[in-house]
Amino acid sequence: MIASAPIRDPAEIYRRSFAIIQAEADLVRFGADARSIVVRMIHACGMVDLADDIVVSPGFAQSARAALEAGAPVLCDAEMVRHGVITRLMPAGNEVMCLLNEPQVREIAARDETTRSAAQVDLWADRMAGAVISIGNAPTALFRLLELIDAGAAKPAAIIGVPVGFVGAAESKDALAADPRGVDFLTVKGRRGGSALASSAVNAIAGGLEGHG
């Protein structure tokens, strides 16, 4: 049997992908703006059941989009998240940054006996006010972010908290969902997460929250 020719048109690939996701995923509990983000996250990982584990605050999509339109930076916990963000989509030429490789990060990590991912969050402090935070790899970064907010640090506009892993990932996301400190948020329950999910959520927001059907 001769296999059918592969689809090569990017727009058609996206169209069919989004149509399949909408047909197979349970998206009914999400509003239109949040649904657009969820569809892109599913597209990034290929798992339609991800929708069952996504927790998103009612105002998250609007708060995050408004922050980007106002020129807020996007603070990422990992270079993989930063590189996954499509900067041309940014509505105000927003800065997308990861401070993991700043020289003082190792010093902070050694002093506090913590990970570099958590240590870099200390360097976010003077940039956090009204920012969009995207954490896709390090549970310790999410825990540290919540600690800083508890200690009086300026609150971001929105938190994408989807660290992946077997140690601390589920717990850090549960902590965010249980008490988001008055900040709009999106997270994924359990062990699943990662750079692709974190950056795809940012891209969906930056792209204008257009619906998919």
Six-digit token string for 13: 């690939």
Could you tell me if 211 and 35 are in contact, meaning their C-beta atoms sit under 8 angstroms apart?
yes
Q: Look up tokens 């850090």; give the residue.
A: 172
Supply φ then ψ for residue 147, to 5 degrees: -65, -45
Is 43 one of the annotated active-site residues of the chain?
yes
Catalytic option among 35, 43, 192, 212: 43
- Cβ neighbours for 43, distance < 8 A, ≥ 6 positions apart: 17, 18, 21, 200
- Cβ neighbours for 96, distance < 8 A, ≥ 6 positions apart: 73, 74, 76, 82, 85, 87, 90, 202
Q: Rounded CA gap, 163 and 135, in Å?
A: 6
**Residue 93 burial (10 A CB sphere; 0-12, 13-18, 19+):** exposed
Annotated catalytic residues are 43
